């Protein structure tokens, strides 16, 4: 008798399980590199770093390095570097946004104050640059100096867009490409830089990161209206409270009645959330959340097609799995 063989494709690997051993190495680098003789720096940096972030950006560095056959130890250093930069931006962002909750805990600014948060963000950011120098590759410095500069531009652009209900979708997309997708892009590109990939492969990896990061932020913005505070680990409605015109609101305004549109416009202009429940109701009823998720799906599809330059490995499979998870996630 013939053995029964399955013709279906093997299940996609769980990226987190696949990278668990390597991420332990990254944790080791993070712990070693956090050290400072200043007690408050140790206290705040450990508080935020150990708060259970998803560590997507370091995983991108590792997955691309592996997918392209690079096994050197510098990959752990670079993975820790992008997590430090990410953490510095979170510390600064929570001060700018006056956020009180992140990763299910009080923000560092709520607990230690704005000044301490900004300064420890500066410590992490500058420590990341010390680490880059130790990697001793000009191209790494080039990619990350450019990325951090663009991230800062994105935040300033977003500041200029606050309270503007007439924001164009393209201008909204520019902000998310700058403030969020740029670090995903740099993380993916760095994996390719380590592996000395050709310029075209490097650009395809960067393009994956850019699209994945855009999808990720689109979903972040819709979860602000879809999720619950306990599920998200941050306060629902924060974006509206700040007067941030994100895609769910822009789409809802297009589809709502004149009276509803006026309600949303006023809320964006005033940054008031007294009628948050009504606005969430409008956003949900008009299908703005599904439309935003659909936009994220389109970006994730773009990311997926960028991966055709990679050889078929388990790491490439994990990168494909990220495309699914970035769209389907609920926290
Ligand atoms: C220090 C370079 C530098 C810049 C300061 C404040 C600022 C300029 C930039 C902030 C950019 C920012 C916070 C963008 C949002 C990124 C985002 C989607 C954060 C949430 O990422 P997750 O879900 O977080 O990966 P976890 O908690 O999982 O790590």
Q: What is the pLDDT of residues 70-111, one digit of tens each?
A: 999 999 999 999 999 999 999 999 999 999 999 889 999 999
Q: Does the C-beta of 129 come closer than 6 Å to ligand 1?
A: no
Cβ atoms of 320 and 301 within 8 Å: the answer is: no
DSSP reduced 3-state for 166: coil
pLDDT digits (tens, 9 = 90+) for 281-319: 999 999 999 999 999 999 999 999 999 999 999 999 999
Question: What distance in angstroms lies between residue 98's CA and the mean position of ligand 1's atoms?
Answer: 14
Confidence class of residue 235 from pLDDT cuts 50, 70 and 90? Answer: confident
Of the residues 23, 52, 83, 93, which should be mutated to test ligand 1's pocket, given the most ligand atoms within 8 Å of the CB? 93
* pLDDT above 70 for 193: yes
pLDDT digits (tens, 9 = 90+) for 30-57: 999 999 999 999 999 999 998 889 999 9
Measured CA to CA, the distance from residue 162 to residue 240 in angstroms comes to 10
Query: Which residue shows structure tokens 């007294």?
Result: 274
Which candidate, 226, 232, 211, 184, places its Cα nearest to that of 297?
A: 211
Measured CA to CA, the distance from residue 77 to residue 131 in angstroms comes to 7
Cβ atoms of 6 and 312 within 8 Å: the answer is: no
Domains of the chain: 15-212+302-326 (1.10.600.10)
Contacts of 314 (CB under 8 A, 6+ apart): 13, 18
Which candidate, 234, 230, 202, 170, places its Cα nearest to that of 64?
A: 202
Measured CA to CA, the distance from residue 181 to residue 220 in angstroms comes to 12
Lowest mean pLDDT among 5-19, 134-148, 164-178: 5-19
pLDDT of the residue at 262: 97
Neighbouring CB atoms inside 10 A of 73's CB total 8
Q: Does the C-beta of 158 come closer than 6 Å to ligand 1?
A: no
- Whole-model pTM: value is 0.95
Which candidate, 238, 187, 249, 193, places its Cα nearest to that of 212?
A: 187
pLDDT of the residue at 104: 87
pLDDT > 70 in the chain, percent: 96
Of the residues 83, 92, 101, which should be mutated to test ligand 1's pocket, given the most ligand atoms within 8 Å of the CB? 92
């Amino acid at each position: 008798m013939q053995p029964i063989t399955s013709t279906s494709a093997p299940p996609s690997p769980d990226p987190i399980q696949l990278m668990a051993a390597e991420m332990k190495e990254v944790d080791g680098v993070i712990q070693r590199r956090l050290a400072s003789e200043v007690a408050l720096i140790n206290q705040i940096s450990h508080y935020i770093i150990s708060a259970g972030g998803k560590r997507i950006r370091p995983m991108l560095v590792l997955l691309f390095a592996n997918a392209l056959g690079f096994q050197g130890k510098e990959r752990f250093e670079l993975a820790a570097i992008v997590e430090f930069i990410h953490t510095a931006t979170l510390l600064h962002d929570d001060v700018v946004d006056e956020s009180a909750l992140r990763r299910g805990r009080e923000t560092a600014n709520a607990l230690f104050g704005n000044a301490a948060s900004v300064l420890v963000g500066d410590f992490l950011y500058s420590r990341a640059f010390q680490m880059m120098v130790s990697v001793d590759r000009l191209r790494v410095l080039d990619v990350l100096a450019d990325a951090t500069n663009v991230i800062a531009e994105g935040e300033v652009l977003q500041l200029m867009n606050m309270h503007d209900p007439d924001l164009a979708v393209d201008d909204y997309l520019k902000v998310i490409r700058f403030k969020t997708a740029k670090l995903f892009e740099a993380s993916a590109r760095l994996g390719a830089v380590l592996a000395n990939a050709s310029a075209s492969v490097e650009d395809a990896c960067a393009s994956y990161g850019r699209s994945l990061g855009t999808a990720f932020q689109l979903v972040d913005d819709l979860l602000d209206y879809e999720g619950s505070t306990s599920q998200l680990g941050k306060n629902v409605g924060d974006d509206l409270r700040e007067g941030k015109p994100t895609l769910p609101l822009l789409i809802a305004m297009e589809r709502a009645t004149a009276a509803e549109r006026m309600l949303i416009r006023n809320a964006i202009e005033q940054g008031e959330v007294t009628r948050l429940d009504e606005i969430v109701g409008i956003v949900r009823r008009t299908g703005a959340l599904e439309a935003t998720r659909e936009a994220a799906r389109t970006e994730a599809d773009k990311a997926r097609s960028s991966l055709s330059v990679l050889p078929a490995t388990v790491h490439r499979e994990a990168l494909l799995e990220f495309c699914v998870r970035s769209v389907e996630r609920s926290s």
